[in-house]
Structure 1
Amino acid sequence: MLACKMKPLPFNLCNPKKRPAIINRSYALLHFIAATSLIFYRVSSLLHSRPSLPHLLMFASELILSLLWLLNQAYLWRPVSRKTFPERLLQEKGEELPGIDVFICTADPKKEPPLEVMNTVLSAMALDYPIGKLSVYVSDDGGSSSTLHAIREAWKFGRSWLPFCTRFGIKTRCPKAYFSRYEDDLGEKGYHEEKEKIKLRVSSMISNSPYILVLDCDMRCNDPTSALQAMCFHLDPRISSNLAFVQFPQKFHNLSTMDIYDGQLRSVFLVKWPGMDGLQGPMLSGTGFYMKRKALYGDIVQEDTDPIQLKQYLGPSNELVKSLHRSNHHNSVNNMDSPSRLLEETRNLASCTYEKETQWGKQVGFLYNSVVEDYLTGFILHCKGWNSLFCDPPRPAFLGTATTKLNDTLLQGARWNCGVLQVALSRFSPLIYGLSRMSLLQTMCYAHLSLQPLYSLPMWCLATIPQLCLLNAIPLYPKVSDSWFMIYSYIFIMSQLKHLEEVLSTGDPMWTWWNEERIWMMKSVTSYSIGSLNAVLKFFGLREANFVPTNKVADDEQVTFYQKGIFNFQASTIVLAPLVTLVSLNMISFAGGLARIIVKGSNWNEMFGQIFLSFFILMVHFPIVEGMMFRKDKGRIPPSVTLFSLALSTCFLCLGSLILMP
């Protein structure tokens, strides 16, 4: 009998989500027809509508919403899920597994407690990976002595902690999580904007591992097998040649049942990234990813590249250039003549002046000059032909701390949205730079995120113009008896049902739909607006980009509010005033419009759309109404903000009414 050579089992599987794809495409087709009909109605009625300005603003708003909706459909076109088999990888590769460098970033010990950094370092050191093939680096941009001391103590503790975890098969290898009966809530989790400070050059000299794991200082390793799972993709000969990074979702240990601030970022990590995984791969998400070092060096690093040209790109270090082609990646230290020479070389590479007149941050390494360098770096990698993958195992690979305060949520969102809009306004605008370098659907995904701040324009318009016209008995929507009204009703109802279907399909309860609706509207008129304004100011050179570390410390009071599902309105006036002003405006217009219909006998048939819109906004934002009028605790909206916002909304309605007078 002839012996048949068995084909080796794959390290991973990719499963297209056929049912969600069919639902998404069917919905997209019907919604597209409805949106096209709506635009036709607006265009055909625009010339006959008086006054024309409100109708023109509504048309512009509906046009922007339609464009952003169209771009958003790319996420939903081909969602997939993936499964890994680390045991197969170990059987076949074993000691041949490549080395991994772990980069952990921190900046300010007051906002990022050294204890959190220690726990993250220890959890990374305890990854289930062959001994001698894992190196951990801490990039402390603040140069804090307390952080240095904490890392030394972590190293001492690790000498006993790591063998303990290995001996007893401990899965939860973060000491704080293991020794605590419950998880402490430590505040906000956000993307770290300082990846440009990662010392890629230094690690090239010391360990030079072909793969890199990047973590925020508070994003601890929760599953020790995450490295093996990532290698199931990176070492798969079918996909490894053009695979740049494997992205794991950001998950959090301190989420409340209600999650009123959408700290889990459900739509990103459970809907959008799996959708992009079916295209060219998800975007780089700042933390929790395993990156191929070669992808960060760019196209210049080839075997036959002129050394002089390499130095123009990488700087004058001969040792760095030599490290690019070493066959023994994880024993680079042994290639140096002495420890003192190694120390001198690493100090040179770590200096701020080394990068001058080189391509670091431009074509090599993580891209600089952006507060969303993760988004920009991932975008350029995809434009160069690299792919990425999304791995979401049943046990979370990494756990961080979610935001527990409204102020932090909105200001953090403003920083992100400023960054992505800056990219949209730069030469790297996805719709211009990416369209000829990536697939259409992948380009649409990047374009949607970069243009996301533009939601602020239609949301401000929808929260003010119909309400102003309601008080002045100016109809902006078709009559209820008109067949065109069915188009508006269909778009609104089906959009809500589609959102609800997505929430339920990802295993979340129904109240998540309502909470996400609320926080999205809040972000649209605050985070998106502030981010857009800052991006425009920076575009014209009126403001410089800056970085402020996210505060990882929270007090017990704010955590108590969050865990109970109660909004904490102890926030900056810059984010509170717009919210309270718009809610006040809708309260006045709803009451005034309803009174006009009842007392003066105005046409209910014509004004129903605007009455319903004001009512819906008030229902969604009832926590703000409650904070203005009923709450007496410390988390209420300050009376000064309420009075200021009431005065502002009244002035707007009065001035607007004067402008609309015939």
Structure 2
Amino acid sequence: MTNAPIVLTQDCDMYSNDPLTVKRTLCFISDPLARPRLGYVQYPQRYHGLNKDHIYGGEVLRLFVANPVGMNDLQGTSYVGSGCFFRHRVFFGRPMSMVPPEIQQLGPDRVVEKPITAQSILELAHHVARCNYENDTKWGFQFGFRYGSLVEDYFTGFQLQCEGWESIFCHPSRPAFLGDIPISLIDVVSQTKRWAIGLLEVCVSKYNPVGYGARYMGFFVCICYALYAFWPFLSIPITIYSFLPQIALLNEVYIFPKVTDPWFFLYVFLFIGAYGQDCYDFILFDSTYNRWWNDQRMWLIRGLSASSFALVEYIIKHLGIATQGFNVTSKVQDSEKSKIYDQGLMDFGIHSPMFVPFTTASIVNLIALIIGLIRVLNDWSLEKLSMQLFISSFGVLNNLPIYEAMILRSDKGRMSINTIIISTCLAFILCGGATLTL
């Protein structure tokens, strides 16, 4: 629709926050020494209206800031869908001869002398808007934005970098763009589920970053894209650690080394190392401890809800069974939701099947912790139970907002009675008759 040499892509809820952004971008693009094959300049997605401690991990620090900073020293950051300035040239692939002939006149190197109100220009604009020119061409597959995934931003950026284009991540102290965020838990997990399904569509295809990407980009860039592509599969270890050690503890099965076993310290090192580094990244990028804690809690909740349901929905879809269609994340500022969000409380008010897994896990962890402590007091078997007790207590600590929503709260954001009943029944089924062995 445009013949401009530079194209800005922006989400509909984002707005400009800094008038110097365009000038700053032109400095990068007009400097041939910066990156000879510079394809786009990406600014981080930042948001206004976040509550003090970012209860839903709203700043998405890893995806929008920390990881792009690391990728910037390689081939450049990935495209994240908004706040990105593209060279028009990148959408036409490598050789211009492969561009569909009927839109050669919209090529990036051609100057149009007719005014935009000219009849021929308007007719061409209507023709392009109908997208009929894409039929039986490589448009959407080798040109333009890439189709075939709900995360067209990730897929498009990945393909462009496989073609040899590079990018620059620009992170000024004043946010270039600001936008809205989802302020209820159902909207957060629904958004994450959509992202996870889109990533699976790329991961389980011929464009897998490990196989396809390794042939066209460096090893480290390939690993960076693979980190995103395999993200939904993290739901598997998260689910295992949310249930298996606890159920094993209830059945007096010890699956971790004793405290006196040298292998015990390997688990301690891995836990402290992983969580310590993650916390350090947040502090390094001027975030806070409370925001990091809420972010890692949401990482666990997303793994048990959105990512798990995305895996199931993706499998069901490829078995030929109809699934729920595409849905846009709601960012409507409802007064009651805004009040709950501003108070730093999670909104569990709507019953959703996606709430059941992490609510069930919270109940199982609480039961395991109580029974585990009773057994320790009875026979002092702390040496064997220490690791499983720690995992259960860590789960209980992360699930405090869930217990509060189930028992103590009376506002509209409290846990739905349907979710509580279903989760409680599942929890007692999973726990089985373990409590009878006391």
Give the structure-1-normalised TM-score: 0.64
SS of the counterpart of 2:422? helix
> In structure 2, how many angstroms separate the alpha carbons of the residues matched to 1:458 and 1:630?
31
> In structure 1, how many angstroms separate the alpha carbons of the residues matched to 2:108 and 2:361?
60
Aligned to 2:364: 585
State yes or no: 1:476 paired with 2:255: yes
Aligned to 1:58: none
Structure 1 residues 487 and 586, CA gap change in structure 2 (3 angstroms): same
RMSD across aligned C-alpha pairs, in angstroms?
Answer: 2.0
Aligned to 2:397: 619
1:420/1:450 contact within 8 Å kept: yes
The one-letter code matched in structure 1 to 2:107 is L
Structure 1 residues 346 and 544, CA gap change in structure 2 (3 angstroms): farther
Structure 1 residues 391 and 528, CA gap change in structure 2 (3 angstroms): same
> In structure 1, how many angstroms separate the alpha carbons of the residues matched to 2:183 and 2:113?
44
SS of the counterpart of 2:10? strand
Aligned to 2:64: 269
1:72-221 map, 5 Å? 202-203=1-2, 208-221=3-16
Aligned to 1:198: none
Structure 1 residues 590 and 556, CA gap change in structure 2 (3 angstroms): same
Structure 1 residues 514 and 290, CA gap change in structure 2 (3 angstroms): same
> In structure 1, how many angstroms separate the alpha carbons of the residues matched to 2:108 and 2:189?
46
Deviations 1:104-133 (A, max 9, x none): xxxxxxxxxxxxxxxxxxxxxxxxxxxxxx
2:77/2:167 contact within 8 Å kept: yes
The one-letter code matched in structure 2 to 1:644 is I
> In structure 1, how many angstroms separate the alpha carbons of the residues matched to 2:412 and 2:230?
36
Structure 1 residues 332 and 431, CA gap change in structure 2 (3 angstroms): farther
> In structure 2, how many angstroms separate the alpha carbons of the residues matched to 1:657 and 1:430?
47
1:419/1:535 contact within 8 Å kept: no
SS of the counterpart of 2:215? coil
Structure 1 residues 637 and 451, CA gap change in structure 2 (3 angstroms): same
Aligned to 2:94: 299
Structure 1 residues 227 and 550, CA gap change in structure 2 (3 angstroms): same
> In structure 1, how many angstroms separate the alpha carbons of the residues matched to 2:17 and 2:5?
23
1:597-608 map, 5 Å? 597-599=376-378, 601=379, 603-608=381-386
Q: Count residues with an aligned counterpart.
A: 437
SS of the counterpart of 2:397? helix
User: 644-653 or 406-415, which moves further after superposition?
Assistant: 644-653
Structure 1 residues 474 and 401, CA gap change in structure 2 (3 angstroms): same
> In structure 1, how many angstroms separate the alpha carbons of the residues matched to 2:58 and 2:207?
29
> In structure 2, how many angstroms separate the alpha carbons of the residues matched to 1:332 and 1:597?
83
1:252/1:402 contact within 8 Å kept: yes
State yes or no: 1:322 paired with 2:105: yes
1:620-659 map, 5 Å? 620-654=398-432
State yes or no: 1:609 paired with 2:366: no
Question: How far is the alpha carbon of 1:552 from its aligned partner?
Answer: 2.8
> In structure 2, how many angstroms separate the alpha carbons of the residues matched to 1:274 and 1:572?
38
Structure 1 residues 552 and 627, CA gap change in structure 2 (3 angstroms): closer
Deviations 1:496-542 (A, max 9, x none): 22222111111112111211111111011011111222222334443
> Unaligned 5+ residue runs, structure 1?
1-201
1:249/1:391 contact within 8 Å kept: yes
Question: How far is the alpha carbon of 1:593 from its aligned partner?
Answer: 2.1
Aligned to 1:423: 202
Question: How far is the alpha carbon of 1:353 from its aligned partner?
Answer: 2.8
> Unaligned 5+ residue runs, structure 2?
none
State yes or no: 1:536 paired with 2:319: no
Higher relative contact order (CA 8 A, sep 6+): 2
Aligned to 1:287: 82
Structure 1 residues 356 and 652, CA gap change in structure 2 (3 angstroms): same
SS of the counterpart of 2:39? strand
Structure 1 residues 292 and 655, CA gap change in structure 2 (3 angstroms): farther
SS of the counterpart of 2:353? helix
Give the structure-2-normalised TM-score: 0.95
State yes or no: 1:362 paired with 2:362: no
Question: How far is the alpha carbon of 1:543 from its aligned partner?
Answer: 4.3
- Percentage of matched positions with identical amino acids: 32
1:333 to 109, 114, 119: 114
Question: How far is the alpha carbon of 1:465 from its aligned partner?
Answer: 0.8
